[in-house]
Amino acid sequence: MRKNQRGITFIGILILATFIGLFVYAGIRLVPLYLEYMNIAKTLDTLKLDMTSVDSPQSIRVAADKRFFIDAVNAISAKDLEITRDGAAWVVRANYDADAPFVANISFSVHFDKTVVLGVAGGA
């Protein structure tokens, strides 16, 4: 009489390890992009808390540039921020795409978008 098969074969282990390895490698390539986005989001949130009275877009760019330098943000610069006026408040938007090479000619493209409101409406 035939016994039931138990366990996984060596080829099955190799296939499973390959798939797990691809996902781990994808995570290794994508994590730095998300960490840099979190630094950018933290910078914009800090601007929202620190800048209660803003008189010009230039003062926002200078403050953002200082924080980007401290946090070593390279994905965007302060001049890439979209700064618009909304009544008595300023709307600051960081909207950008980041690419991470994966294997050969395959790469990941990730879109990031963070918006904060500074000034009168930002404090509410």
Q: How many CB atoms lie within 10 A of CB 92?
A: 26
How far is CA 121 from each of CA 5, 63, 89, 92, rounded to the nearest angstrom?
67, 19, 6, 12
pTM (two decimals): 0.82
The torsion defined by the Cα of 68, 72, 74 and 76, in degrees rounded to 10, comes to: -10
Q: What residue segments make up the domains of the chain, in order of their start?
A: 10-123
Query: End-to-end alpha-carbon separation of the chain, Å?
Result: 77
**Structure token digits, residue 68:** 């980007």
Return per-residue pLDDT of the chain as tens, 124 residues.
567 877 888 999 999 999 999 999 999 999 999 999 999 999 999 999 988 777 889 999 999 999 999 999 999 999 999 999 988 899 999 999 999 999 999 999 999 999 999 976 444 4
